[in-house]
Each structure stands twice: as structure tokens, then as C-alpha cells.
């Protein structure tokens, strides 16, 4: 399992969303939804950005249509030419690229995980049309909670540290304080064992709590491990 830092993408965080007037759900968990795809493993390629974007789109499309597609991360890695393949990328750019559709995993399977190579873009498959909206960006813990009431979102996090490498379970309350270097999907929040955000990683089911992690909520507006600094969703 190798994680590579993504290059600087000149991301400008969107404005915080307006707060809901005392109507927020106490708990949201998209990981239990029929629209949640299985935990993936990016392998030896720095393609977390593509896995986060694909996962967010799969769920958004399913929420809109009732159909959960298995879409091709490899096509996004190899063909999203404003990103850098296995050397990193930005999910908002990938989400924008996917507006024109994406092929299925069966027709364009993931291969970069074994050798860490981006691969050449192929065009032999037929893209699936997706029911997703215009890409939106926001920031801040309260804004992330607002988004999660409707759908999951891609989020940047600080993960190149022992906290993430050794995580087995529980709620993480702090990271060392470095810059963000990894992309995951925020899939929920709750209060059952303390206030938290629930995130979905792309390091396989052997990592964390079956591929998921809990980050303490309410420490600061940017979130533990910077989980609420840069939020994108379709």
C-alpha cells in the first residue's frame, strides 16, 4: 500500500454553506446505504483522488436513479488529463471530467495498483451517462455536515503519519499537523461514542475498521487531520 502526495492544484475552498435551522440529523451514515460501493484498494498507485471521485459519483448517481454502478477508476487515472495519474490529482477536476460519463469497471478494469503506472488512455469502452449535478466546493465542519445530510463528499486529509498507518479503530482526536496529502470520502457523522466524522478510505478492508476511519468532530472548523478544509461533491 503506497500513498503518494498529490501535486499542488490551486484549490480554492468554496464558501461555507448556510446552517440548517435546528433540523440537522443527529447521525448520518452512508456506509450502510444500498448506494455505497464496496471498499476499494488503490494499491501501488497514488490514485486516491480518482477513487474518492469515483466513489462519490457512484453514490450520487445511485441516490438520483436507484442504480449503483461500478465505475472505472482506471479510466479516470489514465484519461483525466488535467491530473497526474499515479503521481496525484484533484478530485474536483476528476469530478468535472466525469460529467461526460465514465466506463464501467468491467469494461476498463483497474491495473495501476500492481505496478504504480498511470497507463495509456484507452477509448474502446462505452461511457455510462451519469445523473450527477454541477461540481460544488465548500469548507468547514458545519458545511461538511450539511453536505452529508444529502450525500457523501470527497475530502482532503493529512495521512502521511503513524496515526493513519497504525489505525485499527476508534475515534482519532489529533494528527501531527502537516499538510493534506491524501483523498478520501466522508460518508457520515454521529455522536454515539463521541462526536465524529466517518470516512471511507481506499486502502482495502484490512486497514482501519474494515476500511473506514472515525475522526473527532468539533475540535476546530478545519477538522481533525484537516478533514473539512477542502470538500468537493457532485
Residues designated catalytic: 48, 182, 201
Nine-digit cell string for 181:
496529502
Q: CA 200 to CA 40: how far, in whole Å? A: 9
- Alpha-helical segments (H) within the chain: 48-65, 73-79, 91-97, 112-115, 141-148, 162-165
Q: What is the DSSP letter of 13?
A: P
Grid cell of 178 as nine digits: 502537516
Tracing cell 461538511 back to the chain, one arrives at 144
Contact 193, 201 (CB under 8 A): no
Torsion, Cα 93 94 99 105, to 10 degrees, reads: 180
Q: Which of 23, 18, 29 is nearest to 193 (CA)?
A: 29
Cα–Cα distance, 67 to 51 (Å, whole number)? 19
Rounded distance between C-alpha atoms, residue 87 and residue 7, angstroms: 8
Interatomic CA distance for residues 6 and 108, integer angstroms: 23
First-residue to last-residue Cα distance in the chain: 28
Amino acid at each position: 500500500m503506497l500513498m503518494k502526495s498529490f501535486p499542488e492544484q490551486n484549490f480554492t475552498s468554496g464558501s461555507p454553506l448556510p446552517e440548517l435551522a435546528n433540523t440537522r440529523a443527529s447521525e448520518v451514515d452512508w456506509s450502510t446505504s444500498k448506494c455505497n460501493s464496496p471498499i476499494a484498494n488503490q494499491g501501488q498507485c497514488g490514485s486516491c483522488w480518482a477513487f474518492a471521485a469515483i466513489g462519490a459519483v457512484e453514490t450520487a448517481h445511485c441516490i438520483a436513479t436507484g442504480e449503483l454502478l461500478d465505475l472505472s477508476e482506471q479510466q479516470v487515472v489514465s484519461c483525466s488529463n488535467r491530473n497526474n495519474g499515479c503521481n496525484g490529482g484533484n478530485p474536483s477536476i476528476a469530478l468535472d471530467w466525469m460529467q461526460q460519463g465514465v466506463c464501467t469497471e468491467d469494461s476498463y478494469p483497474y491495473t495501476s495498483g500492481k505496478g504504480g503506472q498511470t497507463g495509456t488512455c484507452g477509448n474502446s469502452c462505452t461511457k455510462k451517462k451519469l445523473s450527477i449535478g454541477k461540481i460544488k466546493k465548500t469548507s468547514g465542519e458545519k458545511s461538511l455536515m450539511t453536505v452529508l445530510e444529502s450525500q457523501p463528499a470527497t475530502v482532503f486529509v493529512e495521512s502521511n503519519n503513524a496515526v493513519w498507518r497504525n489505525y485499527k479503530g476508534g475515534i482519532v482526536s489529533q494528527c501531527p499537523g502537516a499538510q493534506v496529502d491524501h483523498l478520501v470520502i466522508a460518508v457520515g457523522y454521529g455522536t454515539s461514542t463521541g462526536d465524529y466524522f466517518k470516512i471511507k478510505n481506499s486502502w482495502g478492508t484490512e486497514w482501519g475498521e474494515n476500511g473506514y476511519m472515525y475522526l473527532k468532530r468539533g475540535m476546530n472548523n478545519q477538522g481533525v487531520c484537516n478533514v473539512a478544509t477542502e470538500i468537493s461533491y457532485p
